[in-house]
Amino acid sequence: MLAVQKSSTDQGSTEKVPGGNATCVKVSMVGAPYLRKVDLKNYNSYHELSDALGKMLSSFTIGNCGGTHGTKDFLNESRLVDLLNGTDYVPTYEDKDGDWMLVGDVPWDMFVESCKRLRIMKGAEATGLAPRAMEKCKSRSFK
Amino acid sequence: MDWPRANSPLEHSTSSCHRFTPQDCDEEADGVQSKERRAYVKVNMDEVIVGRKICILDHGGYSSLALQLEDMFGKQSASRLRLFQAGSEFCLFYKDREENWKTVGDVPWKEFVESVKRLRIGRKSKSLLSYSPTFS
């Protein structure tokens, strides 16, 4: 069973800059009960970001640590394995033009400059078979 | 997560910067960076939410471009893209610097590279005239 892994990096970076930080972006994941935030300046490569997101998103299995019942139900073990193996989960980002793009196509620095928000989609959502998900994504006001 | 590996020509550019003065370095880096930024163009495909980005300078011609797009988007269709091939269901369009959408392949490659700002893969059954630009 995975222990809770709280990344102090992203929480620390958002607390450090009261006025907000241009490189701090929200991270959402399909089916997740809440968002997270990361400061892209804390990473130097896609690999580092990928590792951090993997740890961050695995923290949704906090059933052992007194998490809410809803959170425990969110991610059962088999889906977690899918997440960690990267199968069927598509990392995407919204850029400054409001377009959703696949993470990893451009050099890291260019990505950091243009990334406004991250979203880990399921394969079907990414290929457009679930277009309503994007409308919800765009219109939803994240808490 | 298994993410596509991006080419990083920028890394080579900035590493050669160390020979210059800091000011020259910034200007050199800025010039290289803006040129590289322009070289990356967005590619969207009709009915596919997530777009991709390609470096147009990675290619020497239309066939090379078609190959990369096939690799990126080919799985979206059972018949694959087969861009520029007779009988293909799909057509490749580009937005030029004057913000006009045109069919890819009409002009020499070098001219295309200098004017392309954005790409779109669309079905031939839908004409350009009926295309409402969801992507700006």
Q: B135: closest CA among B34, B36, B50?
A: B50
Beta strand spans in chain B (E): 40-45, 52-55, 90-95, 101-103, 118-123
Q: B45: closest CA among B133, B121, B123, B99?
A: B121
Whether the CB-CB separation of A94 and A139 falls below 8 Å is answered with no
Q: Give CA separation, B69 vs B19, B74, B90, B109, B132, in Å.
A: 38, 7, 12, 16, 22
Indicate the pLDDT class of residue B136, thresholds 50, 70 and 90.
Answer: low
Give the residue from chain B lying closest to A127, CA to CA. Answer: B48
Report CA dihedral (B122, B125, B131, B133) to the nearest 10 degrees. -20
Sheet containing strand B40-45, edge to edge, reads: B52-55, B40-45, B118-123, B90-95, B101-103
Whether the CB-CB separation of B48 and B95 falls below 8 Å is answered with no
Chain B residues within an 8 Å CB radius of A108: 6, 8
- Model pLDDT, residue B31: 65
Chain B contacts to A (CB-CB under 8 A): 1-11, 33, 36-37, 40, 42, 44, 47-54, 76, 135-136
Q: Does residue A11 surpass a pLDDT of 70?
A: no
| One-character DSSP codes across B40-60 | EEEEEETT-S-BEEEEGGG-S
Q: Does residue B81 surpass a pLDDT of 60?
A: yes
Q: Does residue A58 surpass a pLDDT of 90?
A: no
Give the C-alpha separation, A45 to A48, whole Å: 5
By the CB < 8 Å criterion, does A123 face chain B?
no
Give the residue from chain A lying closest to B51, CA to CA. Answer: A101
Which amino acid is it at A96? Answer: K
Chain B residues within an 8 Å CB radius of A101: 42, 50-53
State the DSSP code for A40: G
Mean of the pLDDT values across residues B91-118? 96
Give the C-alpha separation, B120 to B136, whole Å: 11
Mutate to test the interface with B, among A44, A48, A80, A105 (most CBs of B within 10 A): A105
Instruction: List A residues 90-119 in contact with B (Cβ-Cβ < 8 A).
Output: 90-92, 97, 99-111
Whether the CB-CB separation of B44 and B55 falls below 8 Å is answered with no
Structure tokens at B64: 């090379």
Q: What's the longest Cα–Cα distance across chain B?
A: 56
Burial of A90 (0-12, 13-18, 19+ CB in 10 A): buried
- Model pLDDT, residue B9: 40
Chain A residues within an 8 Å CB radius of B52: 101-102, 105
Q: What are all long-range contacts of B77-84, with beta carbons under 8 Å and residues at least 24 apart?
A: B81/B121, B83/B121
State the DSSP code for A19: T
Q: pLDDT tens digits for A62-99? A: 433 444 444 433 344 444 445 445 557 788 999 999 99
Whether the CB-CB separation of B100 and B115 falls below 8 Å is answered with no
Mean of the pLDDT values across residues A32-41? 90
Mean of the pLDDT values across residues A17-26? 70
Give the C-alpha separation, A6 to A77, whole Å: 19
Asked if ipTM goes beyond 0.85, one says no
Return the percentage of chain A with pLDDT > 90, whole number: 32
Q: What's the longest Cα–Cα distance across chain A?
A: 41
